[in-house]
Amino acid sequence: MMVGRIDQLGPIQPGNKTGRNDQVRGGDRTDTISLSQEARERAEVYQIVELIKAAPDLDDLQISALRERINDPAYINGTISGTAGRIMDAFGL
């Protein structure tokens, strides 16, 4: 059995894009997205978890030093007095 050519192949012609319009129609339409309350809450929880993961670790030495500063009345009184003084200065009192 012998199969002959059906049609001769011609040189490749540059393609014409038919049925395509380069201009966008309906320019007054806009896309919108709406998120459910559950999706917003999950996104917020995800952000908080990521912030916690990125936070530096505190060691016991740092925590005990902070506790000592907080329990020291001179530190608290000095900090409060300094802050109160700056507030009074800001208001010109």
pLDDT (tens digit per residue) in 17-35: 665 555 656 666 788 889 9
Residue 78 inside a domain? The answer is yes
**51 phi, psi to nearest 5 deg:** -65, -40
Range of the domain at 77: 58-93
The dihedral through the CA atoms of 51, 56, 60, 64 has a sign that is negative
Residue 81 vs residue 40, higher pLDDT: 40
Q: What is the pLDDT of residues 41-82, one digit of tens each?
A: 999 999 999 998 898 887 888 888 888 888 888 877 777 788
**Domain count within the chain:** 1
| Whole-prediction pTM | 0.33
Residue 71 inside a domain? The answer is yes
Residue 89 inside a domain? The answer is yes
Residue 44 CB-density burial (10 A; 0-12 exposed, 13-18 middle, 19+ buried):
exposed
